[in-house]
Each structure stands twice: as structure tokens, then as C-alpha cells.
Structure 1
Amino acid sequence: MSAVRTVAGDLPAERLGVCDAHDHLFFGSPRLPGQELRSAAAARAELQAFAAQGGGAVVQWTPYGLGRRAADLPALSRETGVHIVAATGLHQAVHYDDRTLAGLRGGLAEVFVAELTDGIGTSGVRAGLIKVAGGFHALDAHARWTLAAAAEAHRATGAPIAVHLELGTGAPDVLDLLCGELAVPPSRVILGHLNRSPDPVLHRQAAESGCFLAFDGPSRAHHATDWRMPDALRALADAGHGDRLLLGGDTTTASARSVDGGPGMPYLLRRVRPRLAAELGEELVRRILTDNPGRAFAVEWPDPVAR
């Protein structure tokens, strides 16, 4: 059975509901000292605020070693009624110390597969996607290593691969490696942060490959990109790629949470959704928030669990 692997078990795609396709409930990186997402109470409040706007599901892209707190996710899902999808994977090298990376050499794909099939650590919570990252307009050795491991884990499980594009760049290199050399079906690849580089030619080429395109923000550093998002989505939809589009909030710091005065998860539905509906039409926005995430994250898992 094709299903989305949530922290509470495998879920038919049509039951996912309105989905924030890229966000973070817990996250911590040495690149963002003092801004870690660690509070379970704040995560609960953020999910409740999202649910109050009609939200039904959140896909957490926090990968290995960055404070996922997988054991806390099932209770948060039960208490708020919001489905949560957890990630395995590995971010850019700058987010880790040398000892952590050295411990993964020689067995990265095996870690990904174990977290997808057996569970993350001792939590028993199974990941539903693999999150990796490219670089700024290029791929370094670390990115190539993690992308290769992601491809191997995908072949073993069918799990989708979500890719952080640095400032929205580097999609051609990622697709050449993942879908070309490593033969991952484009329909199993999700490119993140396309809104951060509003290049219509790059967007169209990526969409024509057959991958999913995630527009996730708002931007904190490049505000000029935000107002271009409706035009970018319209151009892709007009070109026949409306079924490839995803939306997310990508809350990565404590100050960005709505409960701490930032836009947070509810902003996606409170402000982004009505703006896009006014410019693109209610039906297209509905499909982007409900139908497309189900297709992007649903998998014929090798060991499905009936719920």
C-alpha cells in the first residue's frame, strides 16, 4: 500500500490533509547559536496554531544529528491532531563536528535505511523521508557523499529524497547526480528553497525533470524574493507543472516561531495561502497544499504498517 510514513505509523496519502511540506519543530545547529528549537511546549503551541488555521500535517526536514527529538514527536502529533513526518539524512558539513562525520564514514546509507525501517535511535519512530543538501551553485565532496548515500537508501526503501538547495541554487548539479548518475526517479526527489532564487528558467528546467519543487519561506535575508513567489508559481502552473509544487514554512530559529513573535508555521496558511489563492485560484492552491504533498511523500514501503 502506498502511504506516507508519519511518526504515528503509515497513513494513506488522502488522509494527510493540508500540509506544510517543509518545516522544523526541533532543530539545532552551531551555525545558529542561541536560536535552537528545543522547547516541546513551544513546538506544541506552534502545531496548535497551525491546526487552528486548518493545518493537518507537517513534514519536519531536520536530519541526523541536529536535535530532531524523534521520541517527542508522536505525543505532539496525538495532542495536536497534526500528522508529523520525520526525516533521516544529513545536512551540509558545516552543521557537524569532525567526530560526528567521522563516525558515519563507511555506513551512512545503512544509518538512513535503519532510521527509515527500524526507527530513529531507541525512539521506535521511523523516518518518512531522507533530507540531504547541495551547495551554493555546486556540489562539494560532502554533498556528493550524502547524495550517494541517500540514493542507496532510496533504492532499499523507496523513500523520497528532499534536498536543501543553498539559497535556491545548484538544482542542475543535484539532478544530474541524483537522477542521472545515481538513477533516482525524479518523482522521488523534492528540491527545497526554490523561492530563494527566483530564476524562471531554472525552475522550469527542474520541473521538466519530473521532480517536486518546494517553495518554503518567508526569506529572512532576501526579502525581494518573497514577492516574486506568486509569479514563479503561476509560470510553473501555466507550463503544466502545477502538480509538482509544494509549500512550506521552514521555521529554523526560535525567534521565527509564531509563539515567539515570528511568522512561524501558521503564517503559511494565515497569509501565504490567501495571497496565492487570490492570484492563482483557490483550486490550484488547494492541490498544492493537499494533493501534491500526498504524492510527493507517499511510498510503497517494503514493510507497510496498517493503522
Structure 2
Amino acid sequence: MSAIRTVLGDIRPEELGTCDAHDHLFMSTPRLPGQELDDPEAAAAELRAFGDLGGRSVAQWTPFGMGRRAEALARVSRSTGVNVIAATGLHQAANYDAGLLGRVWERLEELFIGELTRGLRPGDDPDGPLLPARAGMIKVAGGFHGLDEHARHVMTAAARAHHATGAPIGVHHELGTAALDVLDLLCGKLRVPADRIILGHLNRSPDLRVHRRLAESGAFLAFDGPSRANHATDWRLFDALASLVDAGHAGQLLLGGDTTTAAARAATGGGPGMPFLLSGLRPRLEEELGDGLAEQILVANPARAFAVEWR
């Protein structure tokens, strides 16, 4: 039986409800100094604001070693009543201390599988005590218009972890690029089924022809950045969605907020943050694509994208 793995335990796909398919409650990186998402109260406030608008679930894509505050994820989920899907995996090398990468480099497959099946590791310690919460997805990252050695090594470990567990793989695409390269590696050489892959940040490179080629593979396509004002997602999003719907790919579309800095939060920063997905985008989805398609993109599609026949 398929299930979606949340930090409070497995749930049935029909229990997922309206879902923010890509966001962050906790995150830190040297690339965004001073903008860490590290306050549990602020995270709970943001999650509660999303829940007040009808949001029922959030996929939290922060992977291992990037301040995901694994010990706090279950707490904020329980206090707000919003399901949280946690991620294992690894981001680009620039987000990590070289010493940490050295400690995990040859054991990524073991780390990923352990966090999916046994429990998350706290902090940046790959040998730390296991927490009760488990990951429900694997996060990896490509580079700008290509894949470097780091990306290929991490994706190889992620593919092996997928084959061992069934977990979906979510991919950060730098400025929306290199998605075709990612599919060539993951689906081609590494034999990951395309419908177990979520291609993120496609809004940042609004090339409708590439989007259609990606959709033809069967992968899920995530448009996930409305919390970033004036990015391409803000004024080209509906053209991209309509193009894919017209081509018959409505069942592969996902939306998320990708709130990556404290300043982007609605509850404690300048916003619009996580709630904007429902307060700003959902009404426009319903107006431009219809209530049925809005429901499909926000409810039915993520339920399929994150549901796993766990092994």
C-alpha cells in the first residue's frame, strides 16, 4: 500500500490535502549570510498562516547539513496540524563546509537510506542519534546549465537510495537549467523511473519548449518560487502552466513557495511567503485554469508525487 512519509509518521495519499510541494521551514547556507531560517516560533507562525488558508501539507526540501532543524520539524508540524514531509539528500557543494563533505562523501547512499527508513540525523552529524522523524524524499541539485562531479556523485547515491526505498527524488535546478541533463543521468544511466522525479525551479527558466520536453518524460514539474517577487515565476507562471495543460500534462504539475530567507516569510518578514500560494496564486489558478485544475495541481498531483510503495 502506498503512503506518504511525514515527520509524524506515514499517511494515506488522500490525507495529504492541499500541499505546498516545495518550501523551507528551516535552512542555512553560507550563500545567504544573515538570512537563516532558524527560528522554530517563526517557522510555526508561517506554517500556521498557511494552514489557516486551508493548507494541509508542506514538502520541506532542506536536505542534510543545511540547518534543517530535524529535531524541530515534528514539533512545529504537531503544534500547527500541518503535515511536513522532510528531505534527506545533499545540495550543491558551495552550501557545505569541506570537512563535512569529506565525512559523508563515501557514505551518502547509507546516509540517505538511513534517514528515509530509520530516522533523521540531527544537525550536521552523520553519526548523531537517530530521531523518530523520517525523511519522505531525497533532495539533490544540479548546476548552472550542467552537472559537475559533485552533482553526479550525489545523484548516483540518491538513485541507489531510491531503488532501495522507492522514495521520490526532488531536484534543485540552478536558475531552472540543466533539467534535461538531470533526466539523462537519473532516468537513463541510473534507471530511476521518471514519475519518481520532481524537477524543481522550472519557473526560473521559462522556456516552454524545454518544459514540454521534460513533461514528455513523465516527470513531475515543480514551479516553486512565488515567494520571490519579480522572478520569472510571477509574470510567466500562468503561460507556462497553460502551455503544459494544453499539451496534456496537467497531471504532472506542482506548485510551491520555496521560501529560502527570513525576509521572505509572511509571518515574520516582508513576505509574501508560504501563505501566498493559497492567498495569491490559488484564486488566479481557479480563474484562469478552473477549479478542477487548481484542485488537481494543489491536491491530487502532490498526493501522487510523494506517495511511495515503501520498501
Q: TM-score range by the shorter chain?
A: over 0.9
1:155 is aligned to 163
SS at match of 2:26: coil
Q: Is the 8 A contact 1:196 1:219 kept in 2?
A: no
Is 1:262 the counterpart of 2:262? The answer is no
SS at match of 2:188: helix
Give the whole-Å Cα distance in 2 for the aligned partners of 1:70 and 1:238.
40
Q: Is the 8 A contact 2:220 2:253 kept in 1?
A: yes
2:126 is aligned to none
2:176 is aligned to 168
2:69 is aligned to 69
Give the whole-Å Cα distance in 1 for the aligned partners of 2:16 and 2:233.
29
1:204 is aligned to 212
SS at match of 1:269: helix
1:281 is aligned to 290
User: Normalized against structure 1, the TM-score is what?
Assistant: 0.97
1:91-135 deviation per Cα after TM superposition (whole angstroms, max 9, x unaligned): 000000110111112111110000000101222210000000001
What code does the residue aligned with 1:264 have? Answer: G
Give the whole-Å Cα distance in 2 for the aligned partners of 1:109 and 1:297.
20
Distance 1:219 1:203, change over 3 A: farther
Equivalent in 270, 281, 300 of residue 291 of structure 1: 300
1:130 is aligned to 138
Q: Is the 8 A contact 2:198 2:222 kept in 1?
A: yes
The Cα shift of 1:261 comes to 2.1
What code does the residue aligned with 1:90 have? Answer: L
Which residues in structure 2 correspond to 1:78-97 (within 5 Å)? 78-97=78-97
Is 1:226 the counterpart of 2:234? The answer is yes
1:49 is aligned to 49
The Cα shift of 1:220 comes to 3.6
Q: Is the 8 A contact 2:227 2:258 kept in 1?
A: no
Give the whole-Å Cα distance in 2 for the aligned partners of 1:256 and 1:299.
31
The Cα shift of 1:219 comes to 6.4
The Cα shift of 1:277 comes to 1.4
What code does the residue aligned with 1:9 have? Answer: G
Give the whole-Å Cα distance in 2 for the aligned partners of 1:145 and 1:152.
11
The Cα shift of 1:221 comes to 7.4
Give the whole-Å Cα distance in 2 for the aligned partners of 1:218 and 1:168.
14
What code does the residue aligned with 1:156 have? Answer: A
User: Where has structure 1 moved over 4 Å in runs of 4 or more?
Assistant: none
Q: RCO greater where, 1 or 2, for CA within 8 Å and sep 6 or more?
A: 1
Which residues in structure 2 correspond to 1:138-153 (within 5 Å)? 138-153=146-161
1:16 is aligned to 16
Give the whole-Å Cα distance in 2 for the aligned partners of 1:149 and 1:192.
19
Give the whole-Å Cα distance in 2 for the aligned partners of 1:182 and 1:218.
32
What code does the residue aligned with 2:289 have? Answer: L
1:305 is aligned to none
User: Normalized against structure 2, the TM-score is what?
Assistant: 0.95
Give the whole-Å Cα distance in 2 for the aligned partners of 1:10 and 1:267.
27
Q: Which residues of structure 2 form unaligned runs of 5+?
A: 122-129
Is 1:119 the counterpart of 2:116? The answer is no
Q: Is the 8 A contact 1:5 1:11 kept in 2?
A: yes
The Cα shift of 1:253 comes to 0.3
Give the whole-Å Cα distance in 1 for the aligned partners of 2:39 and 2:12.
30
Give the whole-Å Cα distance in 2 for the aligned partners of 1:27 and 1:223.
21
Percent identity of equivalent pairs:
65
Q: Is the 8 A contact 2:227 2:259 kept in 1?
A: no
The Cα shift of 1:247 comes to 0.3
2:255 is aligned to 247
The Cα shift of 1:199 comes to 0.4
Give the whole-Å Cα distance in 1 for the aligned partners of 2:43 and 2:150.
31
1:195-214 deviation per Cα after TM superposition (whole angstroms, max 9, x unaligned): 11110111000000000000
What code does the residue aligned with 2:139 have? Answer: K
The Cα shift of 1:223 comes to 2.8
Give the whole-Å Cα distance in 2 for the aligned partners of 1:54 and 1:190.
24
Give the whole-Å Cα distance in 2 for the aligned partners of 1:157 and 1:29.
28
1:27 is aligned to 27
Distance 1:222 1:175, change over 3 A: farther
The Cα shift of 1:225 comes to 4.1
Question: What is the root-mean-square deviation of aligned Cα atoms in Å?
Answer: 1.0
Q: Is the 8 A contact 1:219 1:226 kept in 2?
A: no
